[in-house]
Amino acid sequence: MFKLLYADTRKLIFHAGLRELVAAITVYLVGYTAMMKIVSHFMGGDISADDIHTCFASIATLLVSASTLMCTAGEYSDGCIRNKLISGAVRTEVFLSAEITAAIQAIILCAVAFTESVVLSLLCTKGGLISMTLSELADYWLIITMACISIAVFSTMLVMILGGKKISYVVGIAVAVGLNIFSLEIIDKLYPSQGKCTLSGMKLMLYIFYDRYVPYAYLSMRPHYGTLTYLGGSLGLVIISLIAGILIFNKKEIQ
């Protein structure tokens, strides 16, 4: 297991896809900061550190999903999965190693986004944090990281059970985009900008459940539940992904 994990982690660190996504984060954060700085200048105000720290969440779902697709699907196309099994590796260990590596991907991307957000907020803002304290900021990034880890594990599970075929890219991106859009719809209905929430009955209960316990919703707005609630939702998706993935992957025919 540890040999598999070492090999997968080493391959991840040198994977071109990971470097490309790290570069994408840098371009996005710098571009967003520059744009907001220009807009704020013409409006007679200034950008806040809060704006910089919270902008990564808007693209986190797509970036994490893309990262796991790019780095995991290749395990099938280049024959790594088949070679691991031929060499005597246990299927469950192969699957778990891929999932742990996916979690590491998410941590790396979040760490890069956090570091660059801190640097940009120090260089480009005067007032610092406006609506969040330092402890709230720490909780915010902890929740973002937990959500990204669970999404990475879920996305990798899809790739592993779909055999790394082209359909895995379609399904992976479709799920990421679809749930991201649905999360925005949930937020709009539960917390309308004008008036009160008009949902009721079972639909209201389902929307609240999604908002509280589905990690894809955590990236749609700032945290408004306790950290333990977000931890429970993230762990729930991870556990479901691991159990379903192991059951299916252990029975899957590897070509």
Query: Domain containing 181: what range?
Result: 2-249
Q: How far is the CA of 168 from the CAs of 69, 72, 187, in angstroms?
A: 8, 10, 28
In the chain, what percentage of residues exceed pLDDT 70? 92
pLDDT at 176: 82
pLDDT at 223: 83
Average pLDDT over residues 235-252: 89
The answer, yes or no, to whether residue 222 has pLDDT greater than 70, is yes
129: pLDDT confidence band, cut at 50, 70 and 90? Answer: low
pLDDT at 109: 93
Residue 255 lies in a domain: no
pLDDT at 175: 84
81: pLDDT confidence band, cut at 50, 70 and 90? Answer: confident
pLDDT at 108: 93
Burial class (CB in 10 A: 0-12, 13-18, 19+), 238: buried
Residue 66 lies in a domain: yes
The answer, yes or no, to whether residue 173 has pLDDT greater than 90, is no
251: pLDDT confidence band, cut at 50, 70 and 90? Answer: confident
Residue 226 lies in a domain: yes
Residue 254 lies in a domain: no
Average pLDDT over residues 196-210: 85
Q: How many domains does the chain have?
A: 1
Q: d(Cα 81, Cα 194) in Å, to the nearest integer?
A: 52
Q: d(Cα 125, Cα 121) in Å, to the nearest integer?
A: 5
Mean pLDDT of the chain: 83
Lowest mean pLDDT among 9-13, 138-142, 203-207, 210-214: 9-13
pLDDT at 52: 84
The answer, yes or no, to whether residue 136 has pLDDT greater than 70, is yes
Q: Which amino acid appears at position 100 of this protein?
A: I
Lowest mean pLDDT among 61-65, 91-95, 122-126: 122-126
| 84 touches 160 (CB < 8 A) | no
Lowest mean pLDDT among 62-66, 70-74, 107-111, 116-120: 70-74
pLDDT at 10: 78
Q: How far is the CA of 180 from the CAs of 57, 76, 172, 215, 244, in angstroms?
A: 11, 27, 12, 10, 22
The answer, yes or no, to whether residue 180 has pLDDT greater than 80, is yes
The answer, yes or no, to whether residue 219 has pLDDT greater than 80, is yes
Per the confidence metrics, is the pTM higher than 0.85? yes
Average pLDDT over residues 149-176: 82
Q: d(Cα 45, Cα 41) in Å, to the nearest integer?
A: 6
